Amino acid sequence: MASPSEEPPLAEDGWCEPPLDTNQEQSEPPMSKNKLKKLLRDQKWEEGREKRREIRRIKAKAKKERKRAVGDNNTLIDPTSEKRKASTEPDIPASKKPRPAKSVLLPISIVIDCDFDDLMLDGERTSLASQVTRSYSENNKASFKSHLFVSSFGGHLKQRFDTVLAGHHHSWTGVKFLESDFEAAADQAAEVMKTDRRGRLAGAFEKTRDKQVTSTSGEVVYLTSDSPETLTELKPYSTYIIGGIVDKNRHKGICYKRAMDRGIKTAKLPIGDYMKMTSRFVLATNHVVEIMLRWLEVGEWAKAFMEAIPQRKGGVLKALNQPSETKTQEQETDSGAVEQEQEDEGAALNNNAHMLSVSDHAAEAPGYHEGQQP
């Protein structure tokens, strides 16, 4: 046996491996092949960010030039066309052009509870980040919008927003990201709805103007499909909590248990009362937010479901005049099957399209369940 001071023997090619650091091996386990591949893929994606941005810029410029060329050709072929007439009219000053209707803020709050970071895989966190982004976009462009909070914002989810999504959420308006949990977020929402920034009673809340509705008449409700209670309407000055977890049904009933342990009221959306599905029903977090926003606009669950639930789900409205016994049986069949969804990532936001340019990196995994999947 060679003494510690002797040189390690050379291999036939004249090269010898350096001595192993046993302490380093114990403290840093070797990286798996899958994790190494993912790390290299992420690095390659980041390195190509500027190139992708330049490609998008070139494509946008080419698209504008094509539209301009088509317009010029139409003008030459048909000088008397409406386009020609429009082109000869004096330009309307930008200040006098009709502006899109401004969103009306209502005294109601939605909290996305993201305190499940340790229970999700990397792909599921990517999906949740996309769903939070889309939820913000839907609320921001809705005709009647709510106060929006993202609670327990930290860990890998926050890291993704700060790095891959380039920290664009810092410029978002009408939403608050909080490190505290959903109860603290609900308390903060209640305080906001007591101030002049609470919003006004409009949209579906218009009918409550004549009633004695005050900032103290609201409630806090955790939406979960495991709840025995069914939500009949959204109430002014109330806060509704949605469980922000993507877990492919591994953690059943976690949101319901979480709410019950805190003494928070629970309820489920009345999907089974209005919709009949040809297959197993699934929803994403942003779909539930969109359903609530549509209800704030039209005040009817049936319309809200039909407008917000993707057509590919195959959902149809139930006959409202069916016998109560049959309706009850269908409710038992349909109302408890809410899970997560596999959803395409990369849709452009109306005024935040640049925020989703990086979301093409990964396909979105299953998303929202009504607070928690069954």
d(CA 325, CA 89): 65
- pLDDT of the chain, 374 residues: tens digit per residue: 555 555 555 555 555 555 555 554 455 667 788 888 888 888 888 888 888 888 988 998 888 888 888 776 655 444 444 544 444 545 555 455 555 578 899 999 999 999 999 999 999 999 999 999 999 999 999 999 999 999 999 999 999 999 999 899 999 999 999 999 999 999 999 999 999 999 999 999 988 887 778 888 899 999 998 899 999 999 999 999 999 999 877 888 899 999 999 999 999 999 888 888 665 555 889 999 999 999 999 999 999 998 888 777 667 888 654 444 334 444 433 433 334 444 444 443 344 434 433 343 433 334 444 444 43
Residue 44 structure tokens: 């390659």
| C-alpha–C-alpha distance, residues 106 and 234, integer Å | 11
Output phi, psi for 33, to 5 deg: -65, -40
Pair of tokens at residue 218: 């609201």
Q: What are the residues facing 148 on neighbouring strands?
A: 110, 175
3-state DSSP call for residue 244? Answer: coil
CB 271 within 8 A of CB 334: yes
Catalytic residue among 247, 261, 273, 344: 247
Residue written as token pair 């989810």: 157
pLDDT (0 to 100) of residue 190: 95
Q: Which helix (H) or strand (E) holds 279?
A: none
C-alpha to C-alpha distance for 111 and 314, rounded to whole angstroms: 29
> CA–CA separation, 233 vs 227, rounded Å?
16
| DSSP state letter for 24 | H
Element (H, E) at 225: none
Q: What is the pLDDT of residue 372?
A: 42
Judge whether 187 counts as a catalytic residue: no
Query: At residue 4, what are phi and psi to the nearest 5 degrees?
Result: -60, -25
Q: Determine the residue type at 135.
A: S
